[in-house]
Chains A and B, each alone.
Chain A
Amino acid sequence: MSILTFAIISIIKSVAVVFVLLTAVAYSVWLERKVSARIQNRWGPTKVGPFGLLQPLADGVKFIFKEDLTQPYVYKTLYIASPIIAVVFAITAISVIPFGNSITIGPITTQLQITDLNIGLLVVLGITSMGVYGVALAGWSSNSKYSLLGGLRASAQMISYEVSLGLSLIPVLILAGSFSLREIVNKQQHLHWNFFYLPFGTIAFFIYLISAYAETNRTPFDLPEAESELVAGYHTEYSAMKFAMFFMAEYSNMVTVACLSTLLFFGGWLGPVFGPPILQSLLPVMWFCLKVFFFMFLYVWVRWTLPRFRYDQLMAFGWKFLLPAAIVNLVLTALVVAWKPEIWLVH
């Protein structure tokens, strides 16, 4: 493959993936409003288009045309930069996520992924860990008490739960023996999903899920934007498109978490495949999307079912329960795999 074809294919893939991601973000908001309404016995958006399906579009237009207020007391550079930081890192994280096997169009065969790296998982973790700056700096640069408290809570919470999140993923790495997300999925053929590795994979999955909910600031861990105490937390002083950017960052982080749960614990794109070649390359993508959709639905379901933690409960839970559990799980997995590798490792 010449460098020109490579560049063209990469650009096409990047544009397509970002387009799909942003559409998914817009429609997750719709899903959230719809499902929350049904949970509360309401209808949710119904007026714009059938089932309110055009509501995200209307919301987007509204955000663009709203007046963009910049309060005189903010630290202007960082105030403008922080939503950009948040959304850029949230979207970049999708670049190493594989969503299917490979596809052949004419003479060109390409992987259904923007780029496959040896250290894919670490790249995702690194990029998402940089996303904290968006939230923390937004809180600080707004120069308002509510925002500052929200930013402080967000950074403390994200640092605390990042530790158990990272430790919960190591058992998966032990079982797969690679950092490459594509490799990790390929090790889970024939329903050997990491989730089914009782009890280690299952425990790791639940620790990962709980920490990821805290990382994305979603209920029951949404203290950085607890509206009953902090108005809107770190984005209190933001309006119009800047506010929308924080929203986009939150939802694309949710999509990333859903993708990672699917890839690491639920076999990624693996599923029954049949039919002509083109169907064989598109069916895996469908399985992948279905699994991701399930996790997005779970996000919404949890948010509208569980109440919010108190702050001390949040910290005690993270440090005194989740972290020791993750460490014990990691040590036990390592011991068992080292003791009888032929049972645990599929090669």
Chain B
Amino acid sequence: MHLILFLFFGGICVAGAVNLLLQRHPINSALSLVVVMASLAGEYLLLGAEFVAAIQVIVYAGAIMVLFIFTIMLLNAGEEERTGKSRVAIMLGVPGVAIASVLVAWVLLRHSGTGDVALFALPGVPHDIAQLLFHDFLLPFEITSILILIAIMGAVVLASKPESIAKPSAAEPAEQEARELVASGRER
């Protein structure tokens, strides 16, 4: 039963990932990514990591992907245009991907034990995760949160109006000219 469910969710996950690449409209690709995220949550549940599964759905499938779709809707992005098949991509890309996947599979099969682990033996319930995050690995956890805070502040600085942050003198002359053009609203 466990194996059947694993193959089921894994199959959906891979199918979603392939569909993501094959679809030409960005909304369809984004939705395929949602399917990938949700089926990954299913796999986490099978490992007994119910907290991680719930967070995966809430954060990735429920929040981040909604933002993706929101952006696609807002920009009204059109269908992707397929360029002609690049010869370099076929010559180098396909063997490269094949070698990389073989390498990954080989390393994983070689270095992971094939022994059984009882369900719920691994940390997965909220209590265990809290113990790990707030006790055993408190310092790395807090530092990560500060890193994220810095990233947020960077995003705010980048997104805010340029005249209040960056002085025009700091910009390159061409860029400055372009900025003046935009600011004055003139056309070329």
A residues near B (Cβ < 8 Å) are: 78, 117-119, 122-123, 125-127, 129-130, 132-133, 136-137, 139-140, 148, 151-152, 155-156, 158-159, 162, 166, 179
Contact = CB atoms under 8 A, between A and B. Distances in A.
A294 B170 CA distance: 62
Contacts of A156: 70
Q: Which of A78, A122, A151 has the most CB of B within 10 A?
A: A122
B133 interface: no
A122 B55 contact: yes
Contacts, number: 70
A119 B124 CA distance: 11
Contact of A122 (B27, B51, B66, B69): B51
Given A78-B31, A126-B61, 4 more contacts: A122-B54, A133-B31, A136-B70, A159-B67
Q: Which of B51, B62, B125, B126 has the most CB of A within 10 A?
A: B62
B25 to A, nearest CB: 8
A123 B61 CA distance: 13
Contact of A159 (B54, B57, B70, B125): B70
Nearest to A180: B126
Contacts of A137: 27, 31, 69
28 contacts: A78-B27, A118-B50, A118-B125, A119-B50, A122-B54, A122-B55, A122-B58, A125-B54, A129-B57, A129-B58, A129-B63, A129-B66, A130-B62, A132-B66, A133-B31, A136-B70, A136-B73, A137-B31, A139-B73, A148-B73, A151-B73, A152-B73, A155-B70, A159-B63, A159-B66, A159-B70, A162-B62, A162-B63
B74 interface: yes
A133 B37 CA distance: 14
Contacts of A152: 70, 73-74
B34 interface: yes
Q: Which 3 A-B pairs give the minimum distances between C-beta atoms?
A: A129-B62, A122-B54, A126-B57
A159 B58 CA distance: 11
A238 B69 CA distance: 21
Contact of B58 (A125, A133, A155, A179): A125
A7 B25 CA distance: 42
Given A140-B73, A148-B73, A133 B54 contact: no
Contacts of B126: 118-119, 179
Interface of B: 27, 31, 34, 38, 50-51, 54-55, 57-58, 61-63, 66-67, 69-70, 73-74, 125-126
Tell me the interface secondary structure of chain A in the complex. Answer: helix
B111 to A, nearest CB: 31
A60 to B, nearest CB: 31
Nearest to A132: B66
B31 to A, nearest CB: 8
Contacts of A132: 62, 66
A19 to B, nearest CB: 27
A136 B63 CA distance: 13
A126 B54 contact: yes
Nearest to A141: B27
A130 B61 contact: yes
B138 to A, nearest CB: 15
Q: Which of B51, B54, B126 has the most CB of A within 10 A?
A: B54
Nearest to B34: A133
Given A118-B126, A119-B50, A155 B27 contact: no
B39 to A, nearest CB: 13
A182 B70 CA distance: 36
A133 B69 contact: yes
Nearest to A139: B73
Contacts of B66: 129, 132-133, 136, 155, 158-159
A123 B27 contact: no
A140 B27 contact: yes
Given A129-B63, A133-B66, A119 B54 contact: yes
B40 to A, nearest CB: 13
Nearest to A131: B62
Contacts of A129: 57-58, 61-63, 66
A100 B157 CA distance: 51
Contacts of B58: 122, 125-126, 129, 166
A130 B69 contact: no
A155 B55 CA distance: 19
A126 B62 contact: yes
A179 B67 CA distance: 27
Contacts of B73: 136, 139-140, 148, 151-152, 155
